Amino acid sequence: MSAFSYTQMIHTLAPQIALLVGVLVVLAIDLGPLRGKSENIRWRGIVLAALLSLLTAAWFTSSLALPASVAELYRITPLSLLLNHALLLLSAIILLLSVGMTPTRHISEYVSLILLATIGMTLLTGATDLLVLFLALELFSLCLYVLTGMDKLKTASAEAALKYFLFGAMSAALLLFGFSYLYGIAGSTHLAVIGKAIAAAPQDPLVLMAIVLVLAGLGFKIAAAPFHFWAPDAYQGAPLSGAAAAATSSKVASFAILIQMLLVVFGTAAGNGSFHFTQPGWLPVLTILTAASILIGNFAALAQHNVRRLLAYSAVAHTGYALVALQSTSPEAVSALLYYVLTYSLATLGAFAVLTVLQQQGYGDRYADLAGFSRRSPIAALCLLVFLLSLAGIPPLAGFTGKFLVFGAAMQGREIYSGAAVLVGLALAGSTVSFYYYLQVLKFAFVVDSATQSGPTPPPTRNYLPLFVSILLALLVILAGVFPSVLLDAIHSAILASS
């Protein structure tokens, strides 16, 4: 190994350093200049500082000279660059949504946790070493556990945080156990080296153990059934923007690392062979996760009466749809998967933005609270229509295009009796089920007339950020659906340039 270059490291990690400075600044200004000011001013000042650090990070990210790497630990590829931009954007939107809407007095802590989580996620997309990977994963997971518990007014929040944490700790243990097998096989923690070692001995039963354990650990992060039990409670109990972070940006980062693990590390595992012709060894396990997620997610969502829980179960189902793409390991399939996850995050984030608007009006998040929503705030209701229909997969929205790309890529070049075609059939059947429950929510928003308010009417708000964010996201969802090639080509060329 060559001598470790610290200038190289600082250069490569400049975005993360910018974020870390942002965290410190946020904490400092809350203790300094903003001390004793009203909550309103504190929120604005702190979020402004955080946004500035995100912007700086984005600027550093785009000015990185490729290829850039930190020893064997962290490597920036065009793909991780693209994903980091997306993650920074998602974090910025999540920050905008939290302004004034999060029931906590610990404003700087809340915001700095979001920034810290962003550091973890952006590190994760470029991790090339098991240890960095695990540290990055735990960095943002720990932040999310705390964010989930930040709603001090609700016991449900604390309960959800504890559940999320316990499940998370369990899955981290499984993941680490799997990693230990990998280390045992290869004698190295570097992903590419492990990949080579597995290629040399693809039939090793230890590999199989490692696959199962790693998929269980990562399955928790992406909320794949049967590792999804934390999701409904966390979505429901957490403050809205915290739940949005767990639902969107964390999922993007986790999918990125899942792809990395499956294709780079386990790509050569016995089944046998890496690409096209034969199936990699992780396929059976992944197929089970996919089918279970589609079935459990959709059927559990049918029984919900709370929008957040519905979003949680539908997230499980969407994880299933996205995983269908990995039936094929072609670059097209991977880009379809990332397109799907990114547009899914936009739509889900949008749904949380609309829930924030609803919360501003003093309503909860049961279906019944949505009654008459289209009369009270027609624009937000229209945005909700866009987001939910996108999730249901109705054109011209991004959800439809994403589904089509994923299913098309999975089936491309296959036979009809292949597992891929069967899974696509299952996914399509699942999406007809999902159409019912999304429509059920929209029925409350548009058809049912009035609702009884759960609390006293709050004073009319002057905070138009959630509404603004909803409109922005709705436009993005529509544009990504009608002109998918812009995003898709960017992802596809990034993947080709990275491999």
Partner 1 sequence: MLAWTVYISFVAAALVLLVPPRYTSAIRWFALLSAVGGFAISLVAMIANPAGAPVTLVDVPWIPSIGAHYWLSADGISFALCALTGLAATTGILFSWNIEHRVNEYFALFLALIGGVYGVFLANDVLLLFFFYEIAIVPKYFLISIWGSTNREYGAMKLAIYSFVGSAMVLFGILSTYMLTSGVGFGLPDLARHALPHAQQMWIFPLIFLGFGILAGLWPFHTWAPTGHVAAPTAASMLLAGVVMKLGAYGCLRIAMALYPAALEPWGFHIGWISSWRDVFALLAVIGIVYGAAVALVQQDFKFVIGYSSVSHMGFVIFGLMTLTGIGLDGAVLQMVSHGILAGLLFAVVGRMIYERTHTRMLPDLEGMGLASRLPFATVIFVLAGMASMGLPGFSGFVSELQIIVGGWSSYPWLTVAVGIGIVIGIAYTWRVMQRAFFGEQIVSIDRQTEKHEFLPITWPEKAGSFLLLAATLLVGLFPSFLLTRIATAFASPFFDGLRQGRW
Which residue, 164 or 407, has its beta carbon nearer to partner 1? 407
Length of the chain: 499
Closest separation in Å from C-beta 384 to partner 1 = 13
Cα–Cα distance, 286 to 259 (Å, whole number): 12
Which residue, chain included where needed, has tokens 């979020």? 47
Tell the smallest beta-carbon distance from residue 478 to partner 1 (Å): 11
- Nearest distance from residue 498's CB to partner 1, in Å? 17
- Report phi then psi at 69, rounded to 5: -150, 160
Choice between 31 and 429, CB closer to partner 1? 429
Task: List residues binding partner 1 (CB under 8 A).
Answer: 332, 374, 382, 389, 394-396, 400-401, 404-405, 407-408, 411-414, 416, 421, 424-425, 428-429, 431-432, 435-436, 439, 443, 446-447, 484-485, 488-489, 492
Q: Which residues of 196-207 are buried (b: 16+ CB within 10 A; e: fewer)?
A: ebbeeebebeeb
Of 158 and 448, the one with the shorter C-beta distance to partner 1 is 448
Q: What is the DSSP string of 173-225?
A: HHHHHHHHHHHHHHS--BHHHHHHHHHHSTT-HHHHHHHHHHHHHHHHHTT-T
What per-residue string of b and e applies to 410-440 under the rule 16 or more CB within 10 Å gives b?
A: bbeeeeeebbbbebbebbeebbebbbebbeb
Which residues are CB-contacts of 371 (< 8 A; sequence separation ≥ 6)? 444, 445, 448, 449, 450, 451
In the complex, the smallest distance separating the C-beta of residue 110 from partner 1, rounded to whole angstroms, is 37
Looking at the Cβ atoms of 105 and 305, the one nearer to partner 1 is 305
Q: Which helix (H) or strand (E) holds 68?
A: strand 68-70
Write down the least CB distance from residue 401 to partner 1, Å: 8
Residues 6+ apart with CB under 8 A from 375: 449, 450
Rounded least distance, CB 487 to partner 1, Å: 11
Nearer to partner 1, 330 or 463 (CB): 330
Nearer to partner 1 by Cβ, of 209 and 490: the residue is: 490
Closer by beta carbon to partner 1, 275 or else 436: 436
- Whole-number minimum distance, CB 185 to partner 1, in Å? 36
Taking residue 238's Cβ as centre, other Cβ atoms within 10 Å add up to: 29
Q: Which residues pair with 190 in a beta bridge?
A: 129
Closest CB to partner 1 among residues 332, 365:
332
d(CA 499, CA 493): 10
Q: In angstroms, give the least distance from the CB of 300 to partner 1.
A: 19
The H or E element that residue 75 is part of is strand 74-76
- CB of residue 375 to partner 1, shortest distance in Å: 8
248 or 431, CB closer to partner 1? 431
Q: Which residues, in sequence order, are CB contacts of 66 under 8 Å at separation 6+?
A: 76, 77, 78, 81
Residue 262 makes CB contacts below 8 A (sequence gap 6+) with: 280, 282, 286, 326, 329
